[in-house]
Amino acid sequence: MEKVGFFKILVIYFAVAGLIFASNLVSIESIEDASVVPVLLSVLLLIPLWIWHRNHRQKASLSKQIQDEPKRSILFWIFAFFILAMIVRIPSVLLFANPYEKTPLIYLLVLVIVVLMKNDVSIFGFKTSKFGRALLLGTLYFLLFSLLPQILTGATFYMLQGQMLIKGFNPLPFVFAMPFMTLCVGISEEGLFRGYMQTRLSRVFSSRKAIFFQALLFGLWHFIWHVSPLDWFGMLMHVGDTFIIGLLFGYFYSVASNITPLVLAHGLNNSVLQGFIENPNAKATLESLPMFTQLLFYIIPYAISWAVTLASTKFLIKTIMKPND
């Protein structure tokens, strides 16, 4: 990759990050602990990138074949991306308690793929063909891996304790969070871990190793949420939970070669759950139970739903996307 070109991309990457960070100085009331200005700015800054990419794609001859590279080079760039993303992610989470590194990361990914690698982004899973079917698939995938365990947990707790864990739904946090969680969080994380990392890893490793490696990095990606204040147990649970999701999403991507359904599923998972209104009495009852019992209320429903998700992945992809159409 060109050193001068990469330096220019880094300047753009850190400039976008700095602009979003600086926007936190604008004092406007927050929604669900997220400042309105940086969230809106993060979404709006995707527009110039999209316009540039559309125009550049029309003018440039972009390859749909990834150039062969040695294993050492591929691993170097994967870790370089991860470290660069973390350099912005760590202060974002520690200073603002929000993932404002997402839009800069999308700039970094797209510019490196298109400008330096001279590849079409579609080979890294950024596909818009059969867009309606992809959105349907992403919605069903969300229902299986994310909403089903919530239903199973709530139903089990009601049967055993006679209390509802969730007493209602507030659409405001969902409506506010959905664009950011889908367009910024979904595109950046699916683009980085499944699209870029897994695609490149699968060229020098087996599919299983590629899925495992990107899932491991995806799990480690989330440790920072539990550094301040330090919470080892919460960190272990969060890293483990996202590692398993990385395995599920990685398997999905290995079958579909399309991150569009995953972007929507990711966005729905991060926004729909914000609208749930917990029943404080039921939550207090749950927290009064022995730790082992509390864990069972969560582990068993998630284990069931994730097993169902894994078992139905190929069927859903083949049925909805219909590759032979």
**pLDDT value, residue 36:** 87
Element (H, E) at 167: strand 166-169
**pLDDT value, residue 160:** 86
Q: Is 100 helix (H, G, I), strand (E, B) or coil?
A: coil
Segment 103-117 shows an average pLDDT of 96
**pLDDT value, residue 55:** 94
Distance CA 311, CA 307 (A): 6
Distance CA 269, CA 143 (A): 9
Distance CA 16, CA 21 (A): 9
C-alpha Rg value of the chain to the nearest Å: 20
Contact (Cβ atoms closer than 8 angstroms) between residue 26 and residue 128: no
1 pLDDT higher than 60: no
One-character DSSP codes across 203-231: TTS-HHHHHHHHHHHHHHTTGGGGTTTT-
Please give the structure tokens belonging to residue 248.
């599920």
Contacts 24+ apart (CB under 8 A), 118-123: 118/60, 118/62, 118/63, 119/62, 119/63, 119/64, 119/65, 119/66, 120/57, 120/62, 120/63, 120/64, 121/53, 122/64, 123/64, 123/65, 123/66, 123/199
**pLDDT value, residue 289:** 86
Contact (Cβ atoms closer than 8 angstroms) between residue 269 and residue 159: no
Segment 91-120 shows an average pLDDT of 95
**pLDDT value, residue 325:** 60
Q: How far apart are the first and last CA of the chain?
A: 38
User: How far is Cα of residue 122 from the mean position of the Cα atoms in its chain?
Assistant: 18
One-character DSSP codes across 232-250: HHHHHHHHHHHHHHHHHHH
**pLDDT value, residue 220:** 97
260 pLDDT higher than 80: yes
Share of residues in the chain with pLDDT > 70 (%): 96
Segment 185-199 shows an average pLDDT of 98
- The residue among 289 and 269 whose pLDDT is bigger is 269
Using alpha carbons, select from 252, 271, 128, 120 the residue that is nearest to residue 193.
Answer: 252
Segment 160-164 shows an average pLDDT of 89
Query: Average per-residue pLDDT in the chain?
Result: 93
151 pLDDT higher than 80: yes
**pLDDT value, residue 286:** 87
Per-residue pLDDT reduced to its tens digit, 9-42: 999 999 999 999 999 887 666 665 668 899 999 9
Segment 220-232 shows an average pLDDT of 95
197 pLDDT higher than 60: yes
174 pLDDT higher than 70: yes
Segment 66-78 shows an average pLDDT of 93
**pLDDT value, residue 150:** 93
**pLDDT value, residue 67:** 87
Please give the structure tokens belonging to residue 300.
């068993």
323 pLDDT higher than 70: no
Eight-class DSSP state of 274: G
Contact (Cβ atoms closer than 8 angstroms) between residue 256 and residue 180: no
Q: From residue 323, give the alpha-carbon distance in Å to each of 98, 124, 318.
A: 38, 18, 7
This prediction has a pTM of 0.94
Segment 176-190 shows an average pLDDT of 96
Segment 288-295 shows an average pLDDT of 84
Distance CA 149, CA 296 (A): 12
**pLDDT value, residue 44:** 97
- Indicate left, alpha or beta for 97 from its phi (over 0: left) and psi (-120 to 50: alpha): left
- The residue among 18 and 59 whose pLDDT is bigger is 18
Distance CA 271, CA 35 (A): 15
Distance CA 100, CA 58 (A): 30
155 pLDDT higher than 60: yes
